């Protein structure tokens, strides 16, 4: 055992600080003491099974554990060893060779030596770190879900409380309203009940309650109907206002439509004239002449009176005159011109306020 080397890590026997040890342990991304516990657990679990170390290496590792647990060896305080305790003597000599290094330096020495002797140690630590990270992530996710669930429960309870408060408030208002109605109708219903059940206060009370409940329900129905009617009126007013705004914004379109209607009337007139002319040509070719009745201006001589009767009448403005011929009156957009188109035997008569006539 004289060649057994148990020098402190990096050759700094007794001169290294705890801070230096903590800084050197950062390469493992774990606190030194926590890493040392992992190393001890790995050594106890794997020694003689997954790993097989020499006698000298085992003495070194045990010496580091003694130094980490008790500090430098003090022979005066150390217990006496037996005469045949060879292993105990070797371990004490290995411990004594560590000198005065600190407990943290001894922990680091144990970790470094185990890492050099056992390639499986580093993957073992990495697996533990990964497992811890996964568990930490799962714990964080679980905590987030728990907080979210708590928030949802709070919101649900708050909503239920709000609904319950709303119901209570409505119930209080209903009772107040019903009490007010009952006070107003009590004497009237009481007189009626006394006439229906004279000398029977119990039946009178039952009838009064029944009448009061019916009166309350009727009152609520009327109130709901009134609210619905007011709402419908407000909505209709709003729609009328919107329509008025749209009509005001589309004034030019109305003029275009009017012009389009005039063009249609002109086209209809030209089409009728052409149709009549073709018919006349056909009659000339056949040698027969169509009998055309002379055109009359009006069935009534007063055009103003005629217009007043038509505009004041009901229906679609169709009147019957004479022997049953139909006269259709169409009102133009102009406030001055009043046009009547009479279809009689394919000979149109167009008349207006100036009493002019056109015959084709």
Token digits for 260? Answer: 């389009």
Half-sphere exposure in the Cβ direction for 124 (13 Å, CA): 20
Q: Provide CB contacts within 8 A for 97, sequence distance 6+.
A: 4, 5, 6, 7, 63
299 close to 327: Cβ distance less than 8 angstroms: yes
Token digits for 143? Answer: 């905590």
**Residues written for the chain:** 360
Token digits for 351? Answer: 């008349």
Q: Chain centroid to CA 37: how far?
A: 52
Token digits for 306? Answer: 């005629």
Identify the pLDDT of residue 291.
45
Residue 182's DSSP bridge partners are none
Please tell me the pTM assigned to this model: 0.42
Q: Provide CB contacts within 8 A for 356, sequence distance 6+.
A: none
Supply angle C-alpha 307, 310, 311, rounded to 5: 85
| 125/114 Cα distance (integer angstroms) | 12
Reported as type and span, the H/E element at residue 199 is none
Identify the pLDDT of residue 352.
45
39 close to 71: Cβ distance less than 8 angstroms: no
Given the candidates 1.20.80.10, 1.10.150.130, 1.10.10.10, 3.30.70.3450, the CATH classification of the domain at 25-75+83-118 is: 1.20.80.10
Q: Provide CB contacts within 8 A for 25, sequence distance 6+.
A: 31, 32, 35, 108, 111
What are the boundaries of each domain within the chain?
A: 25-75+83-118, 133-233
Identify the pLDDT of residue 245.
55
Query: 183 exposed, middle or buried (CB, 10 Å; 0-12, 13-18, 19+)?
Result: exposed
Tens digits of pLDDT across the chain (360 residues): 333 444 444 444 444 455 555 555 557 888 999 999 999 999 999 888 888 899 999 999 999 999 999 999 888 887 888 888 888 889 889 998 999 999 999 999 999 999 999 999 999 999 999 999 999 999 999 999 999 999 999 999 999 999 999 999 999 998 999 899 999 999 999 999 999 999 999 998 999 999 989 988 999 999 889 888 888 888 877 766 655 554 555 554 444 444 444 455 455 445 545 554 455 455 444 444 444 444 444 444 566 776 677 677 655 555 555 655 555 555 544 444 444 444 444 444 444 444 444 434
| 287/297 Cα distance (integer angstroms) | 30
What are 9-36's pLDDT values in tens digits? 444 444 445 555 555 555 788 899 999 9
What are 278-322's pLDDT values in tens digits? 554 554 444 444 444 444 444 445 667 766 776 776 555 555 556
Half-sphere exposure in the Cβ direction for 243 (13 Å, CA): 6
The residue whose two tokens read 């009617």 is 229
Identify the pLDDT of residue 319.
56
């Amino acid at each position: 055992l004289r060649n057994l080397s148990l020098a402190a890590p990096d050759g700094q026997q007794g001169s290294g600080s705890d801070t230096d040890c903590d800084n050197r342990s950062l390469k493992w991304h774990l606190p030194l003491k926590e890493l040392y516990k992992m190393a001890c657990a790995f050594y106890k679990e794997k020694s003689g099974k997954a790993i097989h170390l020499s006698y000298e290496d085992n003495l070194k590792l045990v010496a580091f554990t003694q130094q980490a647990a008790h500090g430098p060896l003090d022979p005066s305080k150390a217990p006496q060893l037996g005469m045949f305790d060879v292993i105990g003597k070797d371990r004490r000599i290995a411990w004594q060779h560590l000198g005065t290094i600190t407990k943290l330096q001894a922990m680091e020495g144990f970790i470094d030596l185990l890492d050099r002797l056992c390639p499986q140690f580093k993957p073992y630590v990495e697996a533990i770190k990964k497992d811890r990270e996964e568990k930490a992530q799962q714990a964080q996710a679980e905590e987030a879900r728990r907080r979210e669930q708590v928030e949802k429960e709070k919101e649900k309870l708050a909503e239920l409380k709000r609904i319950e408060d709303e119901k209570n408030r409505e119930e209080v208002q209903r009772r107040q309203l019903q009490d007010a109605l009952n006070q107003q109708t009590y004497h009237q219903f009481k007189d009626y009940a006394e006439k229906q059940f004279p000398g029977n206060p119990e039946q009178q009370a039952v009838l009064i309650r029944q009448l009061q409940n019916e009166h309350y329900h009727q009152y609520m129905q009327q109130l709901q109907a009134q609210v619905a009617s007011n709402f419908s009126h407000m909505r209709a007013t709003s729609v009328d206002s919107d329509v008025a705004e749209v009509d005001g914004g589309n004034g030019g379109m109305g003029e275009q439509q009017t012009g389009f209607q005039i063009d249609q009337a002109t086209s209809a007139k030209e089409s009728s004239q052409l149709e009549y002319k073709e018919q006349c040509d056909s009659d000339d070719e056949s040698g027969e002449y169509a009998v055309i009745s002379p055109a009359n201006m009006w069935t009534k001589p007063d055009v103003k009176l005629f217009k007043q009767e038509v505009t004041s009448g009901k229906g679609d403005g169709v009147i019957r005159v004479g022997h049953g011929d139909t006269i259709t009156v169409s009102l133009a957009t102009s406030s001055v011109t009043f046009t009547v188109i009479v279809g009689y035997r394919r000979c149109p008569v167009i008349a207006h306020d100036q009493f002019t006539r056109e015959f084709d």
